[in-house]
């Protein structure tokens, strides 16, 4: 898991909706191959953008309610929040440059 914050129903509002900086949320599961592929990329970006972008991870098996609220039907799904509003969404595994492109214009 590295640098990503584990998001739950209990901390989602504080960590994501009330965050002063953009938050990239990764909906994933331990059994998901593509999720395992992008996990290290997310951790690397979290290190590179520390203090400018927050990275959170939601395990859909443990947080089914949050996944349902976001209409998650496939994983990995990445959702970018800024000021509590969804700005970008990407489904499926993506290279680092595509993930980075989701948030660079918001910082």
CB 60 within 8 A of CB 28: yes
> Sign (positive/negative) of CA torsion 62, 65, 70, 71?
positive
What six digits make up the tokens of 16?
């994501």
CB 46 within 8 A of CB 64: no
Neighbours of 14 (CB within 10 A): 10
- Indicate if 1 belongs to the active site: no
Q: Which of 7, 16, 23, 32 is catalytic?
A: 32
- Indicate if 32 belongs to the active site: yes
Q: Which of 35, 46, 80, 99 is catalytic?
A: 35
d(CA 105, CA 52): 12
Positions marked active-site: 32, 35
């Amino acid at each position: 898991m590295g640098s990503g914050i584990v998001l739950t129903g209990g901390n989602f509002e504080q960590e994501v909706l009330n965050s002063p900086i953009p938050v990239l949320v990764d909906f994933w599961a331990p059994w998901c191959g593509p999720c395992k592929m992008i996990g290290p990329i997310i951790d690397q970006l979290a290190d590179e953008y520390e203090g400018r972008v927050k990275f959170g991870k939601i395990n859909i098996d443990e947080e089914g309610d949050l996944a349902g609220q976001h209409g998650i039907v496939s994983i990995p799904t990445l959702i970018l929040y800024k000021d509590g509003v969804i700005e970008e969404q990407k489904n499926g595994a993506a290279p680092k440059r595509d993930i980075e492109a989701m948030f660079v214009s918001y910082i």
